[in-house]
Amino acid sequence: MVAACVLLAGCGRQETPAQQQEQPVVVRTAPVRAAEPAPLVLSGTVRARHETPLAFQVGGRIVARLVDAGASVQTGQVLARLDPKDVLARLEAAQAEVRAAQAQWRLAQNELARTERLAAQQFVGEQALDRARTQLEAARSQLEAAQAQERQARNALGYTELRAPTDGVLMEWSAEPGQVVAEGQPVATLAQKGAHEVEVALPERFGSQPPLRGEAISSDGSVVPIELREVSGAADPVSRTFRARYRLLTADPPPLGSVVQVRLPQPPVEGWEVPVGAIDERGAGARVWRVREGRLEAVPVEVLSMDQRTARVRGPLQAGERVVAFGTHVLREGMRVEERSP
């Protein structure tokens, strides 16, 4: 009797005939991965560390441009010239003022000398002597003022030539020969010799905490590490982006003005990454099918984001667990499966 009971108990633990006949279904599975944010990819422009707007220190009409945009220039090299006629006329007028002031000064000197002789002979009083001395001082001041105006006019003649303040590359011209420009109006931009940087426009969400490091990829595929140097303190009112400058950490940077692809890391995100085909939305809410010991187990998840290849979900999953990657619409709880890699 006891043996019969043991035999019956053993039979109760065996699979049913339906289970014995169930054939495993071949499914494609993929591992669950911790969600990693895709890098932020932007277009950047290679620029010089220092870019100087160049302008004439006097106004006038441009008569010659001696250097083309893109050319390397040396300190003191003449880049453009203004028509000097007006400046020469002012210089001649200033020189005439100096000659007139010199004549007045000599006249005042002679007048003082005569007054001193007359005062010594007591033919004139102290008041006349003081007047002569005052006139001499006034004539000296007028001469000094005229000489200062002459120096200013002479300097202005030199300012009709636009010279490079330092070595560098002339990036662009914003004025043409024949154009009349005002004093201080920028007419060209000089990229000073030295370090190169990449300028990018960061999205508004990165304004307060921009990525500190990243990489720049040039058109030939070379990769250069970059490091943040500065970021603007306020967003552009039109584009709502922040201008940022990154140093190019290489001795052979891409050429000035070239466009490079800038890749910057993004902050960590929560959740798990699974193939987009693993999401099963039949019934109430989304779920994925986890494989355990050759059978399927439904795991409810919350879909956080999705693109064409992967979905980012939140749920009771672990990294490395395998889920069905395709064909979830025909699966059911407890189904026996045989795994294949996608």
Beta bridge partners of 64: 81
Amino acid at 296: L
pLDDT beyond 60 at 9: no
Strand, coil or helix: what is 292? Answer: strand
The confidence band for 1, taking pLDDT boundaries of 50, 70 and 90, is: very low
The token duo for 338 is: 């045989």
Note whether 41 and 211 are within 8 A (CB).
no
Task: Please state the separation of Cα 168 from the chain's center in Å.
Answer: 20
pLDDT beyond 70 at 7: no
The token duo for 195 is: 């370090």
The token duo for 157 is: 């003649």
Is the pTM above the cut of 0.75?
A: no
DSSP letters, 79-137, are EEEE--HHHHHHHHHHHHHHHHHHHHHHHHHHHHHHHHHHHHTTSS-HHHHHHHHHHHH
Beta strands 302-306 and 51-55: pairing type? unpaired
pLDDT beyond 70 at 339: yes
- Interval 171-196: pLDDT, tens: 999 999 999 999 999 999 999 988 89
The confidence band for 4, taking pLDDT boundaries of 50, 70 and 90, is: very low
Among the residue ranges 3-7, 201-205, 210-214, 317-321, the one predicted with the least confidence is 3-7
Domains of the chain: 18-36+269-340 (2.40.420.20), 40-48+194-264 (2.40.30.170), 56-82+160-191 (2.40.50.100), 85-158 (1.10.287)
* Rounded CA separation 170/42 (Å): 26
* Rounded CA separation 307/313 (Å): 12
pLDDT beyond 90 at 82: yes
Note the pLDDT of residue 62: 95
